[in-house]
Chain A
């Protein structure tokens, strides 16, 4: 009996395959892209669900990808290296004291309903985000209040900051402008938050066609986009972002031609596809850094000499070996794409003699202690790093206790100096290329956040960071950031790791695809991307 019921199980998998065909896609696949009314729809197979479309709520890679397609910001990040480019705003001026920023809007800009994207809409959107106080609100917290955004005339917006903030402009690409008429009409009792979960109110190059939560999201190209397109192909009809939650299925979909572009594949999977002549792999070094953060307040790593000893004992080549060469070691706490990056000459590299020198200055001149290393459970890359760490630290007689945890548990452990482990593996992606976005990670303002698990508090460094972020003249800021980078290396709150290359794989008929390091892994900017007619 039991065996027979297991036989039934055998057929479940078959049934799954059959059920997949019960409701076939309404539009039949053409060469690769979906064809709808003779227009080409680019199919993207991604793993991250789009949980909402509201620019004022929490963002992640999938949400940001949709935002960039449906909405416009005053400015936009483009290119490699990422640069802030004029978008809704044609130009802007800053006052002498760095407090007043005036933006001149492009008079041609219009929302999907045809109404103009004017100064009132910009003011409304900024105030809405600040009042909801979620999503990007943290970026300008303490610098801007809802009352200090004003419409001077129909196409001029003025921001009066509480104090000078040099990174101000670099955050604006993530503040998208919503159509006030649409939001007001669906305001409800939550400032339109419920409405914008599955509806959009933007002016962007794409228009929301269908939002099918948990399965697919269909965007229609906005043929009348006020800014026009960078390519010439009237057959480009839209984009379908389809959830395919397993990398093997993503790969198969790409090979079979059910997807034109897939995101989020690992290094080995990308390399396996590289030989396929129908497929292009584009990789760029990301803005994301990977570091091993050490608790600077509690436990054995509170001693800077212990931290230095560990940093000199670590085997940095293992980072690159694990990534099959698809990465680059960090030469500063700032990744290469951050403005003002300077390579630090005495960045620790494996040097056992030096490690022992530092160890000699501590209570444990001969080692003989244990450090706890916390990393993401089930993440093969990090497990391999852990093994290489055991090997490397053995040379200075230090044992490693491995603690794999789920991500929420890691964040919970890292939220207080009392529970933060000796060493924790963390990927950090800043949302801005301004150096303040990285420097602030080593300021007590970041304590309790996932990248602040080192709890570094150094009076001199704090002062440098605060001076630099208030300075508006780049000529004066740059040298301060050079000093900040050196100072952070001296304090060694983490074993500075590497920048992993990230890649996107697409069929060769996908054209105009351009990645920018500021985007998250898997976050595609649809604007310039199109299918060969």
Chain B
């Protein structure tokens, strides 16, 4: 058992490494120039080159991958070109909201889905089962973005139960 766990852990290290290598290469061969993106559309070519050198983007891919791995090992995920903040900080800032959404929706799923499923099983092929099945199939068939919009419209604009946005605003 211990050997199995050990073997799995070792394979996992290699797998993660391979995964990181693939993602890194894909991100780097994708068209688009991160230095230009960071400098802004009007920046002169000299400014773009300065940023490229400053961020090490002028280095060969292998060396950059080396830096990437070394930084990852010390918990440094780098700095976002978009928000200019450390990536880890951004994740820490937004993750709680994501977690909250997931937990609330799992709560809904368990509290409503499980009893309804049981009800369906008990009254197999009878009216309750058929009603629940209709609900379930509608759930599969309705596009999420549409349903989301409709819920926003009905719950917020019509019933005025919730504000439309601003969960993170204080």
Contact = CB atoms under 8 A, between A and B. Distances in A.
Interface string B106-121: 1111001100110000
6 contacts: A11-B112, A23-B167, A215-B169, A216-B169, A249-B164, A252-B152
Contacts of B169: 25, 212, 215-216, 240, 242
Contact of A412 (B32, B136, B152): B32
A52 B84 contact: yes
A11 B152 contact: no
Given A215-B166, A449-B41, A415 B108 contact: no
Contact of B165 (A20, A57, A134, A408): A20
B140 interface: yes
B147 interface: yes
Interface string B72-83: 000000000011
Interface string B38-63: 11111111110011000000000000
Given A20-B167, A59-B40, A253-B165, A213 B93 contact: yes
A10 B147 contact: yes
A476 interface: no
Nearest to A6: B140
Contact of B105 (A11, A21, A252, A255): A11
A120 to B, nearest CB: 26
A134 B43 contact: yes
Interface stretch (B9-17, B18-26, B155-163): B155-163
B136 A25 contact: no
Interface in B110-157: 112-113, 116-117, 133, 135-140, 142, 144, 147-149, 151-153, 155-157
A21 B40 contact: no
Contacts of B84: 51-52, 57, 197
A350 interface: no
A231 interface: no
A214 interface: yes
The 5 closest A-B pairs by CB, nearest first: A408-B32, A8-B109, A10-B139, A215-B168, A15-B105
Interface stretch (A100-108, A135-143, A179-187, A312-320): A135-143
Nearest to A197: B84
Contacts of B156: 17, 252, 256
B105 A20 contact: no
Contacts of A216: 166, 168-169
Contact of B162 (A5, A17, A59, A133): A17
A362 to B, nearest CB: 31
Contacts of A3: 133, 136-137, 140
Contacts of A230: none
B161 A413 contact: no
Residue among B42, B90, B105, B139 having the largest count of chain A Cβ atoms under 10 Å: B42
A443 to B, nearest CB: 12
A60 interface: yes
Contacts of B153: 252
A324 B51 CA distance: 42
A21 B170 CA distance: 12
Contacts of A19: 100-101, 104, 167
A412 B39 CA distance: 14
A49 B168 CA distance: 14
Contacts of B163: 20-21, 24-25, 29, 258
Given A7-B139, A11-B109, 6 more contacts: A4-B136, A18-B104, A134-B43, A214-B83, A252-B153, A449-B41
Identify whether the interface residues of B are mostly helix, strand, loop, or mixed: helix
B31 interface: yes
A10 B142 contact: yes
A33 B92 CA distance: 31
A215 B155 CA distance: 22
Chain A's interface size range is 35 or more
A58 interface: yes
Contacts of A508: none
A115 interface: no
A17 B163 CA distance: 9
A214 B45 CA distance: 30
A14 interface: yes
Interface string A76-114: 000000000000000000000000000000000000000
B85 A197 contact: yes
B105 A12 contact: yes
B64 interface: no
Contact of A408 (B31, B40, B135, B136): B31
A14 B108 contact: yes
A213 B85 contact: yes
A244 B165 contact: yes
Given A23-B170, A252-B152, A412-B32, A58 B164 contact: no
Interface in A1-44: 3-26, 29
B15 to A, nearest CB: 27
B34 to A, nearest CB: 9
Nearest to A256: B157
A448 B45 contact: yes
A450 interface: yes
A133 B104 CA distance: 47
Contact of B164 (A9, A258, A413): A258
